[in-house]
């Protein structure tokens, strides 16, 4: 969906800013909002670009830095941490060839950490573009990644 059509769903009220940003970023394959788009949103709502940028900078689900097609978020809080999460991260880093916070050279995957996903009863857990994967083992992780790799080819 274009930015215009998303904007047109909202009244020109400052209070819609976060919703607009979340909804619009959802439509972007690189999971990021550009400076020009910030300008467009600011103009629509009649607020400063600084204001829009400050909201993006605060929320971890929003970004101005382009990411890979699939964003893999691994939970590393205590319930996952004590349930072999580090092995999961190590596996991901190895098969993707990147560290947390980085994007693969083919722009397919970005690996990052997330705060608790509320799946502590099925720890360790991760989320890929909104979909939760839980009770992970290194083997499961490998299978999930190859499935995503297959999807894009």
CA dist 135 → 44, 84, 89, 97, 122 (Å) = 44, 10, 14, 23, 5
35 binds other proteins (CB under 8 A): yes
Contact residue for other proteins among 30, 32, 66, 77 (CB under 8 A)? 77
147 binds other proteins (CB under 8 A): no
Contact (CB, 8 A) for 133 and 126: yes
Quote the crossing angle between the two packed helices 35-45 and 17-26, to the nearest 10°.
140
21 binds other proteins (CB under 8 A): yes
Minimum CB separation of residue 76 from other proteins in Å reads 7
- Span interacting with other proteins, options 74-82, 87-95, 102-110, 137-145, rule CB under 8 A: 74-82
Contact (CB, 8 A) for 63 and 32: yes
Contact (CB, 8 A) for 13 and 45: yes
Q: Summarize as ranges the residues that interact with other proteins (CB under 8 A).
A: 13-19, 21-22, 35, 38-39, 42-43, 46-55, 57-62, 64, 76-79, 81-83, 114-123, 127, 130-132
């Amino acid at each position: 969906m274009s930015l215009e059509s998303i904007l047109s769903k909202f009244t020109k009220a400052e209070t819609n800013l976060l919703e607009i940003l979340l909804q619009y970023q959802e439509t972007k394959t690189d999971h990021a909002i550009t400076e020009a788009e910030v300008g467009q949103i600011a103009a629509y709502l009649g607020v400063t670009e600084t204001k829009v940028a400050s909201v993006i900078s605060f929320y971890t689900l929003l970004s101005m830095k382009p990411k890979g097609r699939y964003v893999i978020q691994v939970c590393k809080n205590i319930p996952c941490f004590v349930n072999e999460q580090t092995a999961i991260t190590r596996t991901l880093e190895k098969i993707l060839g990147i560290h947390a916070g980085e994007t693969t050279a083919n722009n397919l995957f970005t690996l990052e950490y997330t705060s608790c996903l509320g799946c502590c009863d099925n720890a360790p857990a991760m989320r890929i573009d909104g979909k939760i994967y839980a009770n992970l083992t290194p083997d499961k992780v490998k299978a999930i990644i190859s499935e995503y790799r297959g999807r894009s080819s």
